[in-house]
């Protein structure tokens, strides 16, 4: 009886991606004199993922929760807008928000930026290695 149970355990470990543990069980039981025959206790075709050991158990739980709810979340979200229809109109829109985006991006990096500096960057006249643009300084 103990050999059969050990065989089930070894088969389960092997099926779930832990062949070292399966080998240890078989080796230990055989060295104790048991006749162990490894067998897979799971249904044919069952697939098991392996968890990485270096993370907290909650990470696996959140991933499983996401997988179980992903479909409902995707159905609830609006459809992707896709690529813009009018290329020229889109490029005008991008040009229109360039100054604002540049200001916010540089501000996040800790810089104080003037519109003149942003225009210099846009035109390619700014060399960050040169100290001539005194209007940029770190906070």
Phi-psi region of 33 (alpha: psi -120 to 50; beta: other; left: phi over 0): left
Alpha-carbon dihedral sign for residues 6, 7, 10, 11: negative
Q: List 138's β-bridge partners, or say none.
A: 111
> Tens digits of per-residue pLDDT, 61-100?
999 999 999 999 999 999 888 888 888 988 888 888 888 8
Q: Which residue has the higher pLDDT, 80 or 116?
A: 80
Whether pTM > 0.75 for this model: the answer is no
Residue ranges per domain, the chain?
A: 2-76, 87-138
């Amino acid at each position: 009886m103990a050999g059969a149970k050990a065989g089930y355990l070894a088969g389960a470990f092997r099926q779930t991606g832990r062949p070292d543990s399966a080998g240890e069980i078989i080796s230990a039981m055989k060295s104790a004199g048991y006749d162990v025959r490894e067998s897979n206790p799971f249904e044919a075709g069952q697939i098991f993922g392996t968890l990485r050991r270096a993370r907290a158990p909650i990470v696996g739980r959140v991933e499983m929760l996401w997988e179980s709810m992903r479909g409902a979340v995707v159905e609830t979200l609006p459809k992707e807008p896709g690529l813009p229809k009018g290329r020229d109109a889109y490029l005008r829109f991008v040009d229109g928000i360039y100054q604002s985006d540049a200001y916010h991006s540089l501000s996040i990096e800790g810089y104080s930026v003037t519109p003149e500096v942003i225009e210099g960057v846009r035109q390619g006249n700014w060399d960050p290695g040169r100290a001539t643009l005194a209007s940029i300084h770190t906070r």
